[in-house]
Each structure stands twice: as C-alpha cells, then as structure tokens.
Chains A and B, each alone.
Chain A
Amino acid sequence: MVDIMTAQNMKFEEAICLVLIVFGQAAAATAQQAAAETGAVTGPISGYMDFHLNKPEGGDPSLDFHRFVLILNHSFSSRIRFVGELEIEHAFVEGLEESGEVELEQAYIDFLITRSFNVRAGMLLVPIGIINERHEPPVFQGVERPFVDTVIIPTTWFEGGAGVHGEIGRGLRYRAYVMAPLNALEFSADEGIREGRQKGSQANVRHAAFAGRAEYLGVPNLTLGASAWHGTSSIPGPTLDVDVSIGEADVRYRRDRLELRGEFAQVAIGNAERLNSAIGQLTGISPNVARAMRGYYTEAGYRVWANGPARDLMAFVRYENFDTQFRMPDGFVPLKEFARSAWVAGASYYPDPDVAVKVDYVWQRNQSAVVKSPNSFNVGLGWWF
C-alpha cells in the first residue's frame, strides 16, 4: 500500500488492481473465518433528517427540508457487512441539480478481518476533516455545516473506490483509499473544488486519487486528526492533467461541559493558469480558479444545561476564515469577495440526545469593498434514528 500511496501518476486501473489483490486475499480469509457462522442480519433502517429555516439579511426567508437520509445495513456475517446511505436533498427532485438531488452517499462492503486491518470497497466517504464522516445533525453545532467544511472541504464528499482501514494499539486509526479524482472542469472562484466531485457517477478515472487519514484517540476526551488527498484530474481536448492536493488537520476536545474543536485545510491546484485557459475556451468565461485555497475554524461549545434528556442545552460560538482565492496563478487577480470570514453563534437544544433544535446567527464578512456577504438568521431541526 505504501507503494500505491506514493505513485503520483498511477493509472486508476493499476491502483485498483493492487487493491483488489489485497481485497481478494482478505475476502478469502474472511470467508473462511465466516464459514462457520450463519444468520445474516438486515437492518434495522436508520437515518437522519435536517429541516431548516434560513433568513438572509435583505432577502426572503426560505424553508427547506435540506436532507432526508436513510441508512440501510446488512451483515452477511459478522465479518462481511454492507452499509448504504441514500439521500434526498432539498425534498424535491427534477432534472436539474438546482432543484434537489438524490445521492448515493455510501454503498460499500466491509471485510472486517482484524481490528488493525480491514478492507472496504464501493461508494465511500472521503476520509477528510471532522464533518465529512461525522455529519449527523446532532453531532455538530450550527444549523448549517461549517463553511470550511462546505467550501474548502466539499462535504459531503463521496466517490467510488476501495481501500483499507483499522486501528492500531490504543487509539491510532487509519484509513487509506484509492478513489475517483475530482473533475477540474467544474472548479470555480467562489465554491473552489466543490462542484468537481464526480459522486461516483460514471466518474472519469484515467488517474487515481489517494485519500488517507490518521486519527489518534489514545488520550481520553481528545481526538487528533490529519488527512491528505491527492488526485490528478484529466481534461480532454488538448489534454491537460491537473494535480490537486489537499492537506488537513483537526482537533476535538471535550472536558465536562466544554467542547472545543478546530480544523485547518488547504487545497493546492497545479496547472491552475492552464486550467483557467482551458475552461475559458470551453465556456467563454475564465473561472478565476486559484492555485491555492485555505480555510480554518475554531469552535467552543458549552453545555449550559446538562441534566439529561429534555434538559440538555449547548451554546456555541465559531469563527471561520475561508478563502477560495488564497493564492492566484501568475496573471490572475484574486476576487476579494471570496476571501471570507464568519462568526457563528447559537445554541442547540436536545429534547433527546438524537434530536437537536438549533438556532444561530451568522455574521459574514469579506475583503471586497463592493460585494457584501449577507448575514443570516437560521433555525433548524435535525434528528437521528
């Protein structure tokens, strides 16, 4: 796997073949171990929902059933398990994505071999950041997910692929996957790499992407995480390979009623100048894609009322800084309205640990003297079952 991870321009099929060899051996071993077991188990169904009222400053309020997610699971045996996550976004779906989306966010099989070494294949969540793999509404503060986990790290980020995961010793966890890369033709000045997600839908895998994450949970109440992602996006026509790398680090800490978390992420895009030219030729508009994007946030939450179910209230404040025009290629001027920061303050009331009633206010700022980022008032209801 080390060789796989260091091969910069390995073809996707070569990488996936190597993973499948490991996968095949693991599957055989797992099947032997599972042979004596009987009694496959399906379900029960679980899931989460997210319902929002958003009122931007100077605009009309909107009511949005943002996410309706059902999670299905089936254990072929205790060692071979399927997990699927099907999501409807924005309640109503028609031809164009602007209306709503049906997404297959997860659909994989785990071959659970040992605690330190397991194999996973299918539609996978990219193991990066705090939110992408922990996005159930009661788990994070704020009606909407953090901006950094939306604009810099494009949650929810999922792609087809395969890889390994496990935990070594007392709390050192890892994930290492080979996945489909991003589509650089969809990169933009305001949303960065977000629209480049191929979402496992007939994804172009001329080159492989590699994603890895390490987490240390050995100290009680503390989680340290670091993630890396590297992929090459291949653009047809006059062929252009665009290397994209993402580095990320995060920390979560909890003591008594206090919860702290922080995250830093940076994106580097190679050949950004030529990428802008290529997209400009195709669309007639230069997208002003940066060669580097950066974001970070810190958040403090305090459980002001902590007397169990129906008496559980957490107040929080979060500062975010996110810039999708952080470093520009030669000859390109950054658009200052996309160098943004935000203060988010609010509270979450838990009538049940799996039900969160959220309210917050977002003060957004940017460096433009002309274009203003709107503040907003938000109310949300989210639940897990």
Chain B
Amino acid sequence: MQARWWIVAALLCLETGTARSQTPTPRIINITAERFSFTPSEIVVDAGEEVELRLKSDDTAHGFRVAGTTVSVVIPKRGYRGTVTRLRVDEPGRYTFECTRMCGAGHNFMRGTLIVRPRTSQP
C-alpha cells in the first residue's frame, strides 16, 4: 500500500516538472513611464525568450508600443493599476519602443530600445 503511494507521488512530481519545462515562468521586467522617459530605457532579452512587462506610470497616461511587434498597450495614470503584457521576439536585433499617447511637450523624446540577443545554444 505504502509503495503505491510513493509511485503516485513520483508520477505527480514528474508531471509537474514536465509542465514546468514546457511553460517556463517568464522573466519579469518592470518599466516605469514618466514625462518624458521610460525607466529603464534600454531592455535586453534573448531571442525567443518570453518576458512579462509590468508597466506603470508616475504621472499621466502613456502608451507603450514596441515597433515591429504586436505589443501596443495603454499605461493608466498614476494611482491606477498598471498594465501587464507579455513579449516574445524571435528575430535578434534592436527594436524601438515608444509612448503612443501625447503626454506633453517632450512626447517624442519618450522612446527606448529593446535589444534582442541571438539565443546562445544550450550545451
């Protein structure tokens, strides 16, 4: 009887481990928007890596768009819950992200760079 429980527990562990390897927890990147900058303004990810972007504003509402991807969201004003979105880019290169909602005189300065590095092969 005891041996049977051990076998069930082992199978459960195996199943959980398999599920985990199939859907790894994405790396979380916190980004703060404020007239007229994103912090950080330079983000580095690996090609094919899925990351979770957690965006919040310290003042008015801003937009956040990564050129060349489908990511385009609104970041609510300070005091409201931030925005969470996921990003995965397979093609290495440099991508511009920018505010898409007019936020003041320096709106066009509000840009950053997403650097997607080639994925290093696993040993």
- Interface flags for A243-269 (1: CB within 8 Å of B; 0: not) read 000000000001000000000000000
Query: How far is it, in angstroms, between the C-alpha of A59 and the C-alpha of B81 when the chains are bound?
Result: 46
Interface residues of B in 37-63 (CB under 8 A from A): 37, 39-42, 57-60
Q: B37 contacts A217, CB within 8 Å?
A: yes
Nearest CB of chain B from residue A30's CB, rounded to whole Å? 13
Query: How far is it, in angstroms, between the C-alpha of A173 and the C-alpha of B108 when the chains are bound?
Result: 13
The interface stretch among A164-172, A192-200, A204-212, A294-302 is A164-172
Interface residues of A in 68-93 (CB under 8 A from B): 71, 73, 78, 81, 83, 85
Nearest CB of chain A from residue B99's CB, rounded to whole Å? 12
The answer, yes or no, to whether B96 is at the interface (CB within 8 Å) is yes
Query: How far is it, in angstroms, between the C-alpha of A106 and the C-alpha of B105 when the chains are bound?
Result: 8
Q: A308 contacts B35, CB within 8 Å?
A: no
Could you say which of B35, B36, B102, B113 contacts A115, with CB atoms under 8 Å apart? B113
Nearest CB of chain B from residue A59's CB, rounded to whole Å? 33
Given contacts A125-B105, A384-B104, contact A309 B41 (CB under 8 A): no
Residues from chain A with a CB closer than 8 A to the CB of B111 are 112, 115, 167
Q: B102 contacts A139, CB within 8 Å?
A: no
Q: B59 contacts A165, CB within 8 Å?
A: no
Give the B interface residue count (CB, 8 A).
28
The answer, yes or no, to whether B82 is at the interface (CB within 8 Å) is no
Q: B107 contacts A217, CB within 8 Å?
A: no
The interface stretch among B3-11, B12-20, B72-80, B83-91 is B72-80
Question: Which range contains the number of A residues in contact with the other chain?
Answer: 35 or more
Residues from chain B with a CB closer than 8 A to the CB of A139 are 35, 59, 104
Could you say which of B40, B58, B106 contacts A133, with CB atoms under 8 Å apart? B106
Query: How far is it, in angstroms, between the C-alpha of A114 and the C-alpha of B109 when the chains are bound?
Result: 11
The answer, yes or no, to whether A237 is at the interface (CB within 8 Å) is no
Q: B37 contacts A115, CB within 8 Å?
A: no
Q: B109 contacts A165, CB within 8 Å?
A: yes
9 A-B pairs whose Cβ atoms sit less than 8 Å apart in the complex: A46-B102, A106-B105, A112-B108, A134-B36, A134-B104, A220-B39, A308-B78, A353-B60, A354-B77
